[in-house]
A and B are shown apart, each in its own frame.
Chain A
Amino acid sequence: NAGVTQTPKFQVLKTGQSMTLQCAQDMNHNSMYWYRQDPGMGLRLIYYSASEGTTDKGEVPNGYNVSRLNKREFSLRLESAAPSQTSVYFCASSGLRDNPNEKLFFGSGTQLSVL
Chain B
Amino acid sequence: AQKVTQAQTEISVVEKEDVTLDCVYETRDTTYYLFWYKQPPSGELVFLIRRNSFDEQNEISGRYSWNFQKSTSSFNFTITASQVVDSAVYFCALSAMNSGYSTLTFGKGTMLLVSP
Query: B interface, how many residues as a size bin?
Result: 20 to 34
User: In the bound complex, do residue B50 and residue A40 qualify as a contact, i.e. CB atoms below 8 Å apart?
Assistant: no
Residues of A contacting B32 in the complex (Cβ-Cβ under 8 angstroms)? 100
User: How far apart sit A107 and B77, CA to CA, in the bound complex (Å)?
Assistant: 24
Q: How many pairs of A and B residues are in contact by the CB < 8 Å rule? A: 55
Q: Is B115 an interface residue (CB 8 A)?
A: no
Q: Is A43 an interface residue (CB 8 A)?
A: yes
User: In the bound complex, do residue B97 and residue A98 qualify as a contact, i.e. CB atoms below 8 Å apart?
Assistant: yes
Q: Mark B37-81, 1 if CB is under 8 A from A, else 0.
A: 000000111010010100000000000000000000000000000
Residues of B contacting A106 in the complex (Cβ-Cβ under 8 angstroms)? 44-45
Shortest distance in angstroms between A21's beta carbon and chain B's nearest beta carbon? 15
Residues of A contacting B95 in the complex (Cβ-Cβ under 8 angstroms)? 100-102
Q: Is B9 an interface residue (CB 8 A)?
A: yes
- A103 nearest CB neighbor, chain B only: B47
Query: A interface, how many residues as a size bin?
Result: 20 to 34
Residues of B contacting A58 in the complex (Cβ-Cβ under 8 angstroms)? 103
User: In the bound complex, do residue A50 and residue B101 qualify as a contact, i.e. CB atoms below 8 Å apart?
Assistant: yes
Given A42-B91, A106-B44, A108-B43, A97–B108 Cβ distance below 8 Å? no
User: How far apart sit A98 and B101, CA to CA, in the bound complex (Å)?
Assistant: 4
- B103 nearest CB neighbor, chain A only: A45
Residues of B contacting A50 in the complex (Cβ-Cβ under 8 angstroms)? 101
User: In the bound complex, do residue A100 and residue B47 qualify as a contact, i.e. CB atoms below 8 Å apart?
Assistant: no
User: In the bound complex, do residue B97 and residue A101 qualify as a contact, i.e. CB atoms below 8 Å apart?
Assistant: no
Residues of B contacting A104 in the complex (Cβ-Cβ under 8 angstroms)? 45, 47, 104
Q: Is A1 an interface residue (CB 8 A)?
A: no
User: In the bound complex, do residue A99 and residue B103 qualify as a contact, i.e. CB atoms below 8 Å apart?
Assistant: no
Residues of B participating in the A interface, judged by any CB pair closer than 8 Å: 6, 9, 31-33, 35, 43-45, 47, 50, 52, 91, 95-97, 100-104, 106-109
Q: List 9 A-B contacts (CB under 8 A).
A: A33-B104, A41-B108, A42-B91, A101-B50, A102-B95, A104-B45, A106-B45, A108-B44, A109-B44
Residues of A participating in the B interface, judged by any CB pair closer than 8 Å: 33, 35, 40-45, 50, 58, 88, 90, 92, 97-106, 108-109
